[in-house]
């Protein structure tokens, strides 16, 4: 398995990346911002993507988004093809895209929003901390990307303060040492509280 910084030779995988993202969201029943092949291609051309390949077969992908004049970057679109799941590949891709972000944008705060417990755990192990949405980028273009998510109405009615996603942030200027022994139950509890709070309101 090769995990590489994506370049022009990998543009041919843009469609399968989008299809895999969409299918994963459908199977899990979770909200996810849709991406077009053109959107993925632009990230590849900018050298802001990491791709996993098994020979010529697509295995996984993640990309960097840059916001707020490079003050913030996000590692987005983490996906592993169904044939390669439960092998620890997602964690390797996540570490590779995090290292690429730190190399290209050493002073930027790295953030993400996710409903996935596994992604929350991976983020925490890299030094991210759960934060309120107010601590993330205020770039309107980032939040526009949430419009295709099925939970966008929650984000709207809370005036972009909360959603089912959890915001997480890595601040390179923060001298605090991170405790990597996070209890998974803490993230599960946080997710359960949000689902109970917002989905009940939506039904009523």
Flag whether pLDDT at 178 surpasses 70.
no
Q: Which domains does the chain have, with CATH numbers?
A: 2-203 (3.40.630.30)
Q: Who's near 107: CB < 8 A, 6+ residues apart?
A: 70, 71, 172, 173
Comparing CA positions, the residue from 37, 83, 84, 44 lying closest to residue 62 is 44
Q: Who's near 126: CB < 8 A, 6+ residues apart?
A: 94, 95, 98, 170
More confident residue, 159 or 58: 58
Give the pLDDT band (50/70/90) at residue 138.
confident
Residue 200: predicted pLDDT: 56
By the 8 A CB rule, do 193 and 166 touch? no
Residue 86: predicted pLDDT: 92
**Of the listed ranges 1-15, 72-86, 113-127, the one predicted with least confidence:** 113-127
By the 8 A CB rule, do 3 and 51 touch? yes
Residue 179: predicted pLDDT: 52
Mean pLDDT of the chain: 86
Maximum alpha-carbon separation in the chain: 51
**199-203: average pLDDT:** 55
SS3 110: strand
β-pair type (49-54, 2-5): antiparallel
- Pick the most confident of 32-41, 129-138, 156-165: 129-138
By the 8 A CB rule, do 61 and 17 touch? yes
């Amino acid at each position: 398995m090769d995990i590489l910084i994506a370049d022009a030779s990998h543009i041919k995988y843009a469609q399968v990346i989008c299809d895999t993202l969409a299918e994963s969201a459908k199977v899990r029943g979770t909200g996810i911002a849709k991406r077009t092949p053109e959107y993925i291609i632009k990230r590849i051309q900018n050298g802001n993507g990491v791709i996993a390949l098994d020979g010529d077969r697509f295995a996984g992908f993640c990309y960097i988004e840059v916001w707020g004049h490079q003050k913030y970057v996000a590692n987005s679109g983490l996906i592993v093809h169904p044939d390669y799941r439960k092998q620890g590949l997602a964690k390797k891709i996540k570490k590779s895209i995090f290292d690429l972000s730190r190399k290209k944008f050493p002073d930027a705060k790295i953030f993400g929003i996710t409903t996935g417990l596994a992604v929350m755990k991976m983020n925490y192990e890299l030094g991210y901390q759960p934060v309120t949405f107010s601590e993330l980028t205020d770039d309107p273009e980032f939040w526009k990307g949430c419009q295709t998510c099925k939970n966008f109405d929650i984000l709207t009615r809370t005036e972009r303060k909360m959603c089912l996603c959890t915001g997480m942030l890595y601040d390179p200027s923060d001298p605090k040492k991170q405790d990597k022994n996070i209890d998974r139950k803490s993230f599960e509890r946080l997710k359960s509280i949000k689902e109970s709070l917002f989905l009940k309101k939506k039904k009523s």
